Amino acid sequence: MKRAFALCLLFVASAVSAQPSKGELAAQLTKLLRLEGMFENYLKACTQPKGSPFDPKPEFLSNPGSFGGISPQSAYWPEVEAIYTRFRNRACAYAVPEKFAAFFTERFADRLSLEDLQAAIAFHSSPVGKRIADATYGADQEFQAFANALMLEAYEVARGDFQRDIRVLLRKYKAEPK
């Protein structure tokens, strides 16, 4: 009897330990959703200067004095571009795709039940779920360029307003220094 009970406990313990944890299921869902690849796309797009605040040419066009007299026609312009490239690469290296994926994995594990994770994995493992993940990943690749263009547009408007506001303040200060 003791032997049968011990075998039963062993069977139950092995069945329980064979169940994946919420963390493992959340990691599997993150992988199925291709989140790491999407963030890899984002970080890659971040390092592309065209259409971003990391491109020195729009800065020059918006504010020709911003480089102290160096213009795109100057022999020093390649050095300006090299400085921007180093700046951009450092700024865009703030994270690696694995950190983004780990963030989502942790949130999925915290916010979804074991049953929810299992259902999501079942769906995203199906042909339809895989096609949705592929479509989302493809749209995300196009989204990065779209988002960069929107960001540049917003940046240009904000920078123009900022520069105007600073000029008004400077005139006020020059007229009545305090």
Residue 11 maps to a domain: no
Q: Is residue 14 part of a domain?
A: no
Q: What is the pLDDT along the chain (178 residues), one digit of tens a residue?
A: 555 554 444 454 554 557 899 999 999 999 999 999 888 888 887 777 665 667 888 888 878 888 888 999 999 999 999 998 888 888 888 878 899 999 999 999 999 999 999 999 999 999 999 999 999 999 988 887 787 778 778 877 887 888 888 888 888 888 988 8
- Could you tell me the CA-to-CA distances from 59 to 46, 54, 56, 89 in Å, in that order? 17, 9, 5, 18
Residue type at position 109? A
| pLDDT for the residue 122 | 97
Let me know: does 54 contact 86? Beta carbons within 8 Å. no
Note whether residue 153 is domain-resident: yes
The answer to whether residue 1 is domain-embedded is: no
Q: In the prediction, which pLDDT does 7 show?
A: 47
Q: Is residue 9 part of a domain?
A: no
Residue 171 lies in a domain: yes
* Buried/exposed code over 141-175 (b: 16+ C-beta within 10 A; e: otherwise): eeebeeebeeebeebeeeeeeeeeeeeeeeeeeee
Find the domain containing 110 and state its range.
20-175
> Does residue 4 lie within any of the structural domains?
no
pLDDT at 115: 97
State how many domains the chain has. Answer: 1
pTM: 0.64
In a domain, 7, yes or no: no
Q: What is the pLDDT of residue 17?
A: 57
Contacts of 26 (CB under 8 A, 6+ apart): 104, 105, 106, 108, 109, 112, 117
